[in-house]
Amino acid sequence: MANFRSLLLGLCLLGIVPAVQAGADNPKKNFRLYCMGCHQIDGSGSPENGIPSMRDEVGHFLRLPEGRAYLSQVPGTLNTPLNDGDTAELLNWVLVNLGRSSTPPDFQRYTAEDVRGYRASIPEDIPGVRVKLLEQLAKP
């Protein structure tokens, strides 16, 4: 098996076999790899199991500064092996493609610097933060 991996790596380096790229140019692929297992292919989640739907909902969090930070701090986002830039692109893809009508048309796209800053201050009670944010969003 180790010989096969070495051969495959060598072929990738020579350009004979294209390397699989995970990164900013593949946010849809990264969604499938790191989010779809819980949130489903269509973003509908599994609310009965505590996995919220993102469809036409996730963009509402952008109405609050804490909500914008929260999206970078949820366990699924924090625990991906993606770097800050790739995570920013994944969040942007989710907001446009799954958040759709809930995402403000003038939303500020996440940057690597945004994600890095938000990840540097992780709340102790992330589920509690979600509850507070939802309460704030429900206020007129």
Q: Give the residue numbers spanning the domain of 118.
A: 21-138
Whole-model pTM: value is: 0.79
Which among 79, 109, 78, 115 is positioned nearest to 94, based on CA atoms?
109
Residue 54 lies in a domain: yes
Residue 2 lies in a domain: no
Run of H or E including 123 = none
pLDDT tens for each residue of 28-56: 999 999 888 889 999 999 999 988 999 99
Residue 7 lies in a domain: no
CATH of the domain at 56: 1.10.760.10
Residue 94 lies in a domain: yes
Q: How many CB atoms lie within 10 A of CB 90?
A: 26
Q: How far, CA to CA in Å, does 84 sit from each of 24, 58, 91?
A: 10, 19, 10
Residue 6 lies in a domain: no
pLDDT tens for each residue of 66-96: 999 999 999 888 888 999 999 999 999 999 9
Check residue 102 and report its DSSP letter.
G
CA-based end-to-end distance of the chain: 60
Quote the number of domains for the chain: 1
Tokens 């914008």 belong to which residue? Answer: 68
Whether the pLDDT of residue 12 is over 90: the answer is no
Tokens 């996995």 belong to which residue? Answer: 51
Residue 10 lies in a domain: no
Whether the pLDDT of residue 111 is over 70: the answer is yes
pLDDT of residue 25: 58
Residue 4 lies in a domain: no
Which among 67, 80, 64, 73 is positioned nearest to 32, based on CA atoms?
80
Q: In angstroms, rounded to a whole number, what is the distance separating the alpha carbons of residues 46 and 34?
A: 16
Residue 49 lies in a domain: yes
Q: In angstroms, rounded to a whole number, what is the distance separating the alpha carbons of residues 125 and 96?
A: 27
